[in-house]
Amino acid sequence: MYPLDVVKTRVQLQTKVTGPDSYNGMLDCFRKIIKHEGFSRLYRGITAPILMEAPKRATKFAANDKWGKLYRELFGQQTMNQPLSVLTGASAGATESFVVVPFELVKIRLQDKASAGKYNGMIDVVMKTVRSEGLLAMYNGLESTLWRHIIWNAGYFGCIFQVRQLIPKAETKKGQTLNDILAGTVGGTFGTILNTPFDVVKSRIQNTIKIAGQTPKYNWAWPGVATIAREEGFGALYKGFVPKVLRLGPGGGILLVVYTGMMDFFRNMREQQGL
């Protein structure tokens, strides 16, 4: 699904839809990238997210479990409820953000149309960023990333809890898988609806080369949201929404199924070994 992420970023970074090289939506962006830059351009920058995915997903679910236990004890709840699911998801998203920021920055800068000929891969982005902007520049966009992940995970895990309460309990393994696909897809879609404005701002912040003595146009999440809405209209806050939701909606379902399946697998292994 990585090409969808490239298209999403390109559309988000575009401030004006004018001229023959501008993108008029997802399909137009796909067509122009392939026509003018070649099919391989749809996979530029993929190394960073590949390296990011395992620690990112592990952190997401491990943090969700740990925060869930902490909040149940803190609020004296024996089982999870809707408000705790939202709070737990938000806390897991905040934890996850610290892992993903450097990878996201590298990915965004490689996906940008203007990066052609500027960077020779992931390591080159890191070296040039650190050399020109300092080591802490690898965490540019941390605040907007926090908002993006807090909101997405709150919506994702909150929806999963709600959907599981509403649908009939599965009696077979196949039924459980279908329930998880449904719950995860609804959660991923709802989380994407909520957090897309912060994703647009994050992309612009991380793609901005910081210059000493100058305040970037996009620097903080909420002021950035206000600036985009004022200058480009409210709809601009949802640039790249279609490729994003196509990736993270079904992706949320797949993610939940894989996580549940792997946890069941390891649980069975522990039981067989008497641990």
Q: Per residue in 203-253, pLDDT tens?
A: 999 998 888 778 889 999 999 999 999 999 999 999 999 999 999 999 999
| pLDDT tens digit sequence for 24-47 | 889 999 999 999 999 999 998 888
**Architecture of the domain defined by 46-272:** Alpha/alpha barrel (1.50)
Global model pTM greater than 0.85 = yes
% the chain with pLDDT above 90: 69
pLDDT score for 128: 93
Across the chain, what does the average pLDDT equal? Answer: 91
SS3 sequence of the chain: CHHHHHHHHHHHHCCCCCCCCCCCCHHHHHHHHHHHHCHHHHHCCCHHHHHHHHHHHHHHHHHHHHHHHHHHHHCCCCCCCHHHHHHHHHHHHHHHHHHHHHHHHHHHHHHCHHHCCCCCCHHHHHHHHHHHHCHHHHHCCHHHHHHHHHHHHHHHHHHHHHHHHHCCCCCCHHHHHHHHHHHHHHHHHHHHHHHHHHHHHHHHHHCCCCCCCCCCCCCCHHHHHHHHHHHHCHHHHHCCHHHHHHHHHHHHHHHHHHHHHHHHHHHHHHHHCCC
Confidence of residue 263 (pLDDT cuts 50, 70, 90): confident
pLDDT tens readout for residues 172-192: 889 999 999 999 999 999 999
pLDDT at position 18 over 80: no
- Per-domain residue ranges for the chain? 46-272
pLDDT value at residue 275: 61
Average pLDDT over residues 87-100: 94
For 158-172, how does the pLDDT look when each residue is reduced to its tens digit (9 = 90+)? 999 999 999 999 888
